Amino acid sequence: MADGGIGSATKRREDVRFLTGRGKYADDFIPQNTSYAAFARSQVANGTINSVDTSAAKAMPGVLAVFTGEDFAEVGGNPAGWLINNRDGTPMKEPKRPVLAHGKVRHVGDAYAAVVAETLEQAMDAAEAIEADIDEHDAVINMKAAVANSETRVHDELTDNLCFDWGWIEDNRDTTDAAIKAAPHVTTLELVNNRLVPNALEPRCSIGEYDPGTGDYRLTTTSQNPHLTRLLISAFVLGIPENKLTVHAPDMGGGFGSKIYHYGEEALVLSAARSLGRPVKWTASRSESFLTDAHGRDHVTKIELATETDGTFIAFRTETYANVGAYLSNFSTVTPTFLHGTLMAGNYTVPNVYVNVKAVFTNTAPVDAYRGAGRPEASFSLERVIDKCARELDIDPIAIRRKNFVKPDQYPFASAAGLEYDSGNYDALMDGLEGLADLAGFEARRAESAERGMLRGLGINSYIEACGIAPSNLVGVLGSRVGLYDAATVRVNATGNIAVMVGAHSHGQGHETAFPQVVADMLGIDPASVEIVHGDTSKIPFGMGTYGSRSLAVCGSAVYRATEKIIKKATLIAAHMMESDADKVAFNDGVFTVEGTNKSVGFGDVALKAYIPHDYPIEDIEPGLEETAFYDPANFTYPSGAYACEVEVDPETGKVTICSMVAMDDFGTVVNPMIVSGQVQGGLAQGIGQALLENAVYDENGQLLSGSLMDYAMPRADDLPNLVVDHSNATRCTHNPLGVKGCGEAGAIGSPPTVVNAVIDALNRAGLDVAHIDMPMSPARVWAAMNK
Amino acid sequence: MPNVTMTINGREMSANVENRTLLSSALRETLNLTGTHVGCDTSQCGACVVHVNGRPVKACTMFAVEAEGAAIDTIEGQANADGTLNALQQAFQDHHGLQCGFCTPGMIMSASALLKENPTPSESEVRDYLEGNICRCTGYQGIVNAIMAASGQDVPVAAE
């Protein structure tokens, strides 16, 4: 291995610019002659727009143009990326999502007009001067009420508020029902997976530019996947040909899912830039982020677990109401279905699984994939009901999990929820966890807590997730409207340095450091000579972006394949240079040699020869040394883990303090263990935030009560314990060249049930009969549960 | 428009600003010092922390005109004179104290103020002091580790 290759905890090169204030985020760009956009947004959740009077706004100082929904009535809608079918085979309801609301406003914050002015302040002042006559209707907020009552609708043109009623696997419904009916023990739990606001620290920002000389458009925007944004704008919304539109996603202050999607503001600034002939810039305020970024989670679930009396699992059955908000965001339909239902067998050999998901339109912001995206919801339901079952049957929570684990000799394992797990070792993870978290010492720690009057509890969890989304042929059958490969070009320049153009976007994941580790390792060269290019559709072949912990598993595999092609071509050139047959040439540590001779030539010399092809077999080998690979995965990857959390509950106040959080994960091959640890720790913080602090709350009128960082409790440094992570207990992924699985979401998936299990354990050990507390487990909720 | 003159990172700079222009906007948009970030509109996130006359201030809570004559230190002025990372910045890189980098300028400015007040803070003092700085990426582990290391102390959880 080259120094700093695969497995090295290399310090991140991108850190230097971020630590010195030299990062370039979207809002840091101010093109010459920039004008500024501000939006008029609905203050009611559900309303009919009678008229929008823009005359006063147009007369305000500095105003260049005012746009309303009428101006975009003929423009295409922003589509859902997946078509989901109902249980009866009919397709889901798919209302148009316009650039600007037209006819109706459907959630607080829904933009119905936009002003462009010389300055931001002028645009904001003028946006406030727009007079909209809007008839307010009752808001559709509660999901079950929304389904029961089709008189009050989010979309008047639809018959009701049910987007789809999905069954997985529908053919298994009857056998699952029968298995549960015949089972000796059934544990039932109703739970809420609380609605979250992603709150990437950098608000969304979009800058549209248009060059009237060439007809070229440029969109600088906060996007986790600039090519998908370009595709949606080109093919569905504005019809700008892809070769006339560059989407540039520069440094980005986090995404967590909320910046996967195309938003109307992006189309607005592009359209306005064309009509004004000037750059148009919009940056969200944090208030706009709360109101309009796609939210996460928001499931209401009833889960049943049928078991033998010895704890052997017989069946899981769920009924879930999943909020999709007012419009279908791009991944909103796949998140509660194929990213959720397919994981409902967990790490277990359970033979029967049936999942029913009813997706519901409400007068709230769109809900879409947020860190984990469906898998946290699956894991939460499973691991909570398993814990409840263990308590009912008086079985140790670790023992009941081990009893039902898929065993190492069972791979590939066909789960009852329709996936084929390729590798894993859940018992080994649990063994590791028991040591790392010192579970043997828990009783002593509990006694010590009790001396201080505190109730200590231990929560355990196992999770599996599906990453590296996904085989295009498979997802096509399941309703995806895009392929889910990724692409990379490896360009070896004449003097031997390398640029790698990748479809994945880095916004905290450290691709600029980790991807060069892979290339350098394969070529036996210094990683410092490899540079990553990302986030610009004009420079990169194609890409499906960063989400679903897919960057290394899918794009990294494309990098690997492209580098293999480089080695293959370089070997031919080296063979010519050494007057040998190519099959006698070996390549190690950056040097080509001919077997049985002392001939050798360095990689850099081969690169130079490729670009200065004198004495070169030009009939057989093209000059240049640049290769592209598109990699389409053969399967999902399946990271898994075992987590432990210890909490103290204050019996006087109900306040929960996390004493320890330990994560033992299997991510397959680890390229940069420092980066992987950071990814897990960040995920743990978001999961702990969900469990204890975060909650997006709408009142019955559809007003977002937790609409600022004053009201929405983000985890702060003093809310969190030290986060202990370990990923040394790995099994390789069997179907991608690096053996990697993906680590970006694990912490956010595994931690919420672990924390809740710990709190419930603390209360039950104290003799309190509390079966469940919904997240976030605020002091008020915990105290109420203790004093019911 | 009023003119405001400040000494920023040791250099006198002036700008014409509106009365309502925030210090954060003046730094970013008028003076092109975009290292100071704005992540919220309620003074909660801390991405915009700078030092005003040596004290940490959220630059979004202060009008630019209020900074007339003040000495302002921003992230752009933190590196060593030769351009290399200072000890605190280096500790952030060594201990993976940043991911997306957006909160990082505010974190560095808050952390440097902490270490000036309290050269060897305990872990809980570090966590308390950072209460006004939100990081959505790291879970704060790398940040806490970096600050402990920069103050010459053991890190709570060893980095990989």
Domain with CATH 3.10.20.30 in chain B: 3-76
Nearest CA in chain B to A255: B100
Mean pLDDT across chain A, nearest whole number? 97
- Kindly report, residue by residue over B95-148, the tens digit of the pLDDT: 999 999 999 999 999 999 999 999 999 999 999 999 999 999 999 999 999 999
Which residue is listed with tokens 């007009």? A113
Cβ-Cβ contacts under 8 Å, B101 against chain A: 14-15, 17-19, 23, 251, 253, 508
All structural domains of chain A = 31-137+202-253+259-292 (3.90.1170.50), 299-469+635-786 (3.30.365.10), 485-631 (3.30.365.10)
Handedness of CA A442, A443, A444, A448 (dihedral sign): positive
The DSSP element (H or E) to which A399 belongs, if any, is helix A397-404
Q: Are A280 and A272 in contact (CB under 8 A)?
A: yes
* pLDDT tens digits along A713-728: 999 999 999 999 999 9
Q: What are the start and end residues of each CATH 1.10.150.120 domain in chain B?
A: 87-150
pTM of the model: 0.97
Task: Kindly determine whether residue A21 and residue B34, on different chains, have CB atoms separated by under 8 Å.
Answer: yes
DSSP A251-307: B-S--TTTTSS--HHHHHHHHHHHHHTS-EEEE--HHHHHHHS-BB--EEEEEEEEE
At A504, the amino acid letter reads A
Residue of B70, B113, B55 whose CA lies nearest to B88: B113
The pLDDT, as a whole number, for residue A367 is 98
Distance CA A490, CA A499 (A): 6
Consecutive 10-residue runs of chain A (788 residues): their mean pLDDT? 84 98 98 98 98 98 98 96 97 98 98 97 97 98 96 97 98 98 98 98 98 97 97 97 98 98 98 98 98 98 98 98 98 98 98 98 98 98 98 98 98 97 98 98 98 98 95 93 95 97 97 98 96 97 94 97 98 98 96 96 98 96 98 97 98 98 98 98 98 98 97 97 97 98 98 98 98 98 96
Cβ contact, residue pair B99, A674, below 8 Å: no
Cis peptide preceding A169, ω within 30 of 0? yes
Q: Do B99 and A678 touch (CB under 8 A)?
A: yes
Selecting from A508, A715, A718 the residue whose C-beta is nearest the C-beta of B100 gives A508
The C-alpha atoms of residue B106 and residue B103 are separated, in whole angstroms, by 6
| A671 within 8 A of A559, measured Cβ to Cβ | no
For helices A556-577 and A603-611, the axis angle rounded to 10 degrees is: 80
Residues in chain B with CB shorter than 8 Å from the CB of A203 are 38-39
Chosen for mutation from A18, A283, A688 (greatest number of chain B CBs closer than 10 Å) is: A18
Among residues A678, A675, A680, A682, which one has the least CA distance to residue A664? A680
CB contact under 8 A, A716 and B134: yes
Q: What is the pLDDT of residue B159?
A: 54
What is the rounded distance in angstroms from the CA atom of residue A201 to the CA atom of residue B137? 9
SS (H, E, C) A497-527: CEEEEECCCCCCCCHHHHHHHHHHHHHCCCH
Q: Would you give the distance in Å from CA B52 to the centre of its chain?
A: 11
DSSP letter (8 states) at residue B43 = S
For the domain spanning B87-150, the CATH number is: 1.10.150.120
Are A251 and B101 within 8 A, CB to CB? yes
Write phi, then psi, for A551 (nearest 5 degrees): -60, -50
Residue A660, SS3 per DSSP: strand
- CATH 3.10.20.30 correct for B3-76: yes
- What are the structure tokens assigned to A270, written together? 């592009």
Which residues are paired to A299 by β-bridges? A193, A322
Q: What residues in B contact A681, CB-CB < 8 Å?
A: 138-139, 141-142
| A788 three-state secondary structure | coil
What is the three-state SS of A218-248?
EEEECCCCHHHHHHHHHHHHCCCCHHHEEEE
DSSP state of B65: G
The number of residues making up chain A comes to 788
In this predicted model, what pLDDT tens digit does every residue of A590-605 receive, in sequence order? 999 999 999 999 999 9
Instruction: Name the strands in the sheet holding B71-73, side by side, starting at the edge strand that comes first in the sequence.
Output: B11-16, B3-8, B71-73, B49-52, B55-58
**CA separation for the pair A291, A534 (Å, rounded):** 29
Closest CA to A48 of A115, A138, A151: A138
Mean pLDDT along residues B30-52: 96
Q: Compute how many other C-beta atoms are within 10 angstroms of the C-beta atom of residue A204.
A: 24
- Write the burial class of residue B154 (CB in 10 Å: 0-12 exposed, 13-18 middle, 19+ buried): exposed
- What is the Cα–Cα distance from A322 to A430, expressed in whole angstroms? 32
- Measure the CA–CA gap between A107 and A95, rounded to whole angstroms: 15
The DSSP element (H or E) to which A747 belongs, if any, is helix A746-765
CB contact under 8 A, A21 and B29: no
Supply the pLDDT for residue B160: 55
Answer yes or no: do A286 and B41 touch at CB < 8 A.
yes
pLDDT at B41: 87
Nearest chain B residue to A714 by CA: give it: B134
- Report the run of H or E that residue A53 belongs to, with start and end: strand A47-53
- Evaluate the CA torsion angle B71, B75, B78, B81 in order and state its sign: negative
Chain B, 3 to 62: residues with Cβ < 8 Å from chain A are 18, 20, 28-29, 33-42, 44-45, 47
Strand order in the sheet with A185-193: A162-168, A352-361, A313-325, A299-307, A185-193
* A510 contacts on B by Cβ (under 8 Å): 99
By the CB < 8 Å criterion, does B143 face chain A?
Answer: yes
